Amino acid sequence: MESIAFDLLICMLAFWFGYSANRGGTCLVVAAHELQKRRPPRMFVGFVAASAAAGLVAIPLAWSGTLNATLAPSTNVNAFLLLGAIAFGFGALINDTCLLGSLARLGDGEMRLLALPVGLAVGILIADHGRPGSLVTWTSLIASPSISGAATVLALAVVLALAVMFVSTKGASRRRPGWAFGASMIGLGITGGLLYALSPAWTFADLIQRGLPLRMTPTGEVALVAVIASVAGAITASVRQGRLRFQRPTVAGILRSIVGGALMGIGIGLIPGGNDALILAAVPTLSPGGIVAYLVMTTTIVFGFAARDRLFKKGPSGHGRG
């Protein structure tokens, strides 16, 4: 009975997670594009808010030992992590959206993204063959109650307040109030923080990763149901906002998702984890590797946009992307 209740809790959280992702239009590529265009970094700061909210729920939960909650282990910074972050960034740029953005846009009916798991599987297999040895991890410095842990929680609360104030005033409109975006990012952070603390391997990337021939690590039925619930949440949010439009996939779009997914899969295998796990699990728990990987993949996309602009400006038309 307890197991059924726990699985139901995970599915409810996953549904709310998908709903929040679609509602907020969350995407690392959008955040990087704002930075490259020197616009107010609303999405980037929104992710900061989500990360802070995730830490504020996950850290006390792990300290209490409720439902065997744990914090993500820390990783060091090494060449493979940097290579993985760069590969993930380029993959997200090619796919035109990251893992969180793929969930949000799949909810809007962008059917080409159904090909993304194929690319992810290929990329993860490549990473498994290319990475020597096993990943070195250690318990987070704030895994148990301490002065540094309490200071971290206090700092996260301040960061969350400042980030929400920023996103609520920048880019707000009558059609889309700033508080709505801020609320969506807080919802994403709360649900994501709880999910990664209670059931770390719950995303479709983890489902693919653990089901590959070289891994075959059992994830349990709840992982599959949680993935379905998150997609259902994204679709529900899209329907409520009147945005659901099923888009027939093109060959070019499918190839973009597969190639981009393969590069993101390499990143997931080498870092390990995608941008969702970094933002909602690694960064809030002060993992050095997680923080650096997130910054590197964001920087990669920013430079990718800049290079694309220069190529277009030098083209026959003489016009950039605009």
pLDDT tens by residue, 98-140: 999 999 999 999 999 999 999 999 999 999 888 777 778 999 9
What is the pLDDT averaged over residues 237-261?
A: 96
The pLDDT value given to residue 49: 98
Percentage of the chain beyond pLDDT 90 is: 80
pLDDT grade for 58, boundaries at 50, 70 and 90 = very high
Instruction: Give the domain ranges of the chain.
Output: 1-308
Q: Looking at residue 173, what is its pLDDT? A: 54
Position 216 confidence tier, pLDDT thresholds 50, 70, 90: low
Per-residue model confidence (pLDDT) at position 236: 98
> How large is the average pLDDT for residues 236-257?
96
**What was the pLDDT predicted at 318?**
40
Mean pLDDT of 271-294: 96
> Which tokens go with 274?
């995608």
Examine the pLDDT at 317 and tell me if it is beyond 50. Answer: no
> Does residue 117 contact residue 261 with C-beta atoms inside 8 Å?
yes
Q: Which residue has the higher pLDDT, 85 or 174?
A: 85
The pLDDT of residue 277: 96
Residue 229: Cβ within 10 Å count: 23
pLDDT-derived band of residue 272, with 50, 70 and 90 as boundaries?
confident
DSSP single-letter state for residue 97: S
Provide the pLDDT confidence category of residue 321 given band limits of 50, 70 and 90.
Answer: very low
pLDDT of 214 over the 70 cut? no
Task: Work out the percent of the chain whose per-residue pLDDT is above 70.
Answer: 91
Q: What angle do CA 22, 90, 111 make, to 5 degrees?
A: 40
**Which pLDDT score, from 0 to 100, does residue 217 have?**
56
pLDDT at 218 over 70: no
User: Residue 196: what pLDDT?
Assistant: 97
In the chain, how long is the greatest CA-to-CA distance?
A: 67
* Token pair for 289: 């590797």
Structure tokens at 225: 């149901």
**What's this model's pTM, rounded to 2 decimal places?**
0.92
Place of tokens 């972050």: 85
Task: Check: CB of residue 199 under 8 Å from CB of residue 222.
Answer: yes
What is the b/e burial string over 61-80, where b = at least 16 CB atoms within 10 angstroms of the residue's CB? bbbeeeeebbbbbbbebeeb
- Give me the residue label for tokens 């609360």: 157
pLDDT tens-digit map of 174-213? 555 656 899 999 999 999 999 999 999 898 888 887 777 6
Q: What does the pLDDT average to over 65-82?
A: 94
* Confidence band for 4, pLDDT divided at 50, 70 and 90: confident
Q: What is the pLDDT of residue 220?
A: 57
Q: pLDDT tens-digit profile of 7-17?
A: 999 999 999 99
- Which tokens go with 248? 């027939």
Instruction: Choose among 48, 41, 50: nearest CA to 20.
Output: 50
Residue where the block lists tokens 């439009």: 245
> Helices in the chain by DSSP H: which ranges?
2-24, 28-36, 42-64, 79-95, 99-107, 116-130, 147-169, 178-198, 204-211, 221-240, 251-270, 275-277, 288-313
3-state secondary structure of 247: strand
Dihedral sign, Cα of residue 168, residue 171, residue 175, residue 321: negative
- pLDDT, average across residues 70-87: 96
- The pLDDT of residue 213 is 65
